[in-house]
Amino acid sequence: MNKNEMSSHLGLPLTPGLARKIIVELFQHQRQWTTAELIEKVPQEHRRRDGVDGKDTIKNVINKALGYLKDDDYIQRKTYGVWERIGSGLDAVDLAATPPSALPPDDQIKVERTLGEGPESLYVYYNDTERELANLKGQSTWPCKIGKGEPIRVLNQVGTARHTLPIIALVIRSYDAEEMEKLIHLLFERAGLRINNDRCGIEWFMTNPEQVAACYSGIENLVTSFRGPLPDPL
C-alpha cells in the first residue's frame, strides 16, 4: 500500500462507503469472510489509515457495506454469517478505488424508522402528496411501496424522474430480505391490500408504515416462538 492509500482515510469517520472499499480489498486476498471477522478487521484497517470512528455502530456500518456489495453481485451469502466473493462484471480494483456515486454520505439519506438487523434491506416509501390526500379524506392508509434494496439506490432510481423525493418511512434490515419481502407481500395480498395497476408494478399496497412494521414484528415474534432466537452471527 502506498503513502497516498495509507492517508486516504485521514480524519474521516468510518462510513459504509469506506467500509465497502476495505471489504473489497479484503476479499481480493481471501474468498470467504464471516461477518464477525469483518466487524473486527475493517475498523482495524480504517484506523491504520488514520481514520476515526463514525456515529453509527461498527456492526451497522459493516452490514450496510455488505448490503451494497451484495446488490453489486460482488458477494453472496454462503451460509448464515458467512460471505463469499462470487465475481461479476465489476472490476475489484476499480470497485475498491472508486465507491459509486450511489453511496453518498449517510446524513443525506433520511429514513424515518429502522427495524431489525442484517446486511440486506427492505424499504417502505410513499409520495407525500398521497399521504396528504389520504389525511384530507380522513383515511389512514395510502399507496406505499414495499420493496427490497438499499434506500439510497431507491432514491437514485426515482430521483431523476420526480421533482421531489419519496418519503422513506421504514427500513427493515434482514439477513434474508428476499424471503421477508415475499412473506410481507403474501400477507398483504391475502388481506386485499395490493394495488392492482399494471403501471406501478406488484410492490404497491394500500397501507401505511405502521401496518408494515406491525406485520414484520408479528412475523419475527411468531418465528422466534417456534424455533427460539437465531444465534448471533457475531
pLDDT per residue as tens digits for the range 145-189: 999 887 777 676 665 555 567 889 999 999 888 899 999 999 999
In a domain, 22, yes or no: yes
User: What's residue 41's pLDDT?
Assistant: 94
pLDDT at 202: 87
pLDDT of residue 228: 63
Confidence category of residue 43, pLDDT binned at 50, 70, 90: very high
Mark whether 78 and 50 lie in a shared domain. Answer: yes
Does residue 217 share a domain with residue 166? Answer: yes
* Residue 234 located in a structural domain: no
pLDDT at 101: 43
Q: Is residue 233 part of a domain?
A: no
Are residues 93 and 131 located together in one domain of the fold?
no
Classify residue 120: in a domain, yes or no.
Answer: yes
Which of 100, 128, 158 is the last residue before a domain boundary? 100
Distance (Å) of CA 137 to CA 121, 141, 153, 189, 197: 32, 10, 32, 24, 22
Half-sphere exposure of 160 (CA within 13 A, CB side): 4
pLDDT tens-digit series, residues 70-90: 878 889 888 888 999 986 545
Do 223 and 119 fall into the same domain?
Answer: yes
Tell me, what's the pLDDT at 231?
60
Say if 180 falls within a structural domain.
yes
Band the pLDDT of 99: cuts 50, 70, 90: very low
Separation of alpha carbons 68 and 193, rounded Å: 30
Whether residue 223 sits in one domain with residue 120: yes
Based on the fold, state whether residues 139 and 210 are members of the same structural domain.
Answer: yes
Last residue of a domain, one of 77, 100, 123: 100
**Angle between helices 35-48 and 16-29 in degrees, nearest 10:** 110
* Distance (Å, whole) CA 67 – CA 195: 28
The alpha carbons of the chain give a radius of gyration, in whole angstroms, of 19
In angstroms, the CA 186 to CA 182 distance is 6
What pLDDT digit, counting tens, does each position of 57-67 carry?
899 889 888 98
Same domain, 88 and 130: no
Q: Which amino acid is at 215?
A: C
- For residue 234, the model assigns a pLDDT of 52
Q: How many CB atoms neighbour CB 225 within 10 A? A: 8
- Tell me whether residue 128 is in a domain: yes
Q: Among residues 39, 66, 100, which one ends one of the domains?
A: 100
Number of structural domains in the chain? 2
Domain that holds residue 28: 3-100
Q: Could you tell me the CA-to-CA distances from 65 to 59, 77, 106, 111, 222 in Å, in that order?
A: 10, 13, 12, 17, 29
* 80 falls within a domain: yes
pLDDT in tens, 45-57: 999 988 888 888 8
Q: How far apart are CA 234 and CA 230, in angstroms?
A: 11
Q: Is the dihedral of CA 26, 96, 114, 71 positive or negative?
A: negative
- What does DSSP assign to residue 57? -
Mean per-residue pLDDT of the chain: 82
Would residue 141 count as lying in a domain?
yes
pLDDT score at 80: 81
State whether 24 and 119 are in the same domain. no
